[in-house]
Each structure stands twice: as structure tokens, then as C-alpha cells.
Amino acid sequence: MGPLWITNIVVSIMIVLGLLYSLRNYLITRRLARTKFTNALVALTAIFILQNTYAAYMFYMLSWSYDVEIAYPLLMLNLLGLAGFSIFVYLSHV
């Protein structure tokens, strides 16, 4: 397993941690105000947590079969995802 694969796994885990922080806040908000919007935020965040957890698992499995030439493009996609989720977390907690 090369450093690019490890970086992919770490980035996916960082996204999951940010989403777990968001989910915690959404669940607190949902307890106070049960609206369709807060329910949708909870559901959306849960789906993204599952997606990024599965992505980390897939990066681990792919690291045994593929080399750097596929890890680099996946890392670029993953870093763009991290940027997007960082903006999502920032905007939803301002």
C-alpha cells in the first residue's frame, strides 16, 4: 500500500469525522425543531457518512490490486470532495 492510497483513506476518514460533527449538531437541532429540513439534513448526512466510510474501505481494497496510476486521480476526486464537505460543514454551522 503506497502513500497515495493511505492519503485517500485518511481524507475519507477526515470527511467522515466532519460529517459526524455535522450529524451531531443536526440531531441536536432536530430535537428542538422537527422540520422536514432538519430531517432531510440528518438523512443526507447519514448517507454521506455511509458513502465515505465505504470509499475508505474501497481505497484499502483497491490498494492491494492497483498501483499509483489509479490512486492519484482518485486522490484528486477525494480532495475535491473534502473541499466541498468542508464548505458544507462551515456554511451549515455559521
Asked if pLDDT for residue 89 goes beyond 90, the answer is no
**What pTM does this model have?**
0.84
- In this prediction, residue 94 has a pLDDT band, given cuts at 50, 70 and 90, of low
Closest CA to 13 of 63, 61, 53, 43: 53
Distance CA 43, CA 82 (A): 19
Q: Which three cell numbers stand for residue 79?
A: 480532495
What is the span of the domain harbouring residue 44? 3-92
31-40 pLDDT, tens digit per residue, is 888 888 889 9
Q: What is the pLDDT of residue 9?
A: 93
> Which single residue is written with the C-alpha cell 469525522?
17
Q: Identify the CA nearest to 8 among candidates 90, 49, 68, 86.
A: 68
Q: In whole angstroms, give the CA distance from residue 21 to residue 15.
A: 10
Q: Residue 91: which pLDDT band, with cuts at 50, 70 and 90? A: confident
Total structural domains in the chain?
1
- Average pLDDT of the chain? 90
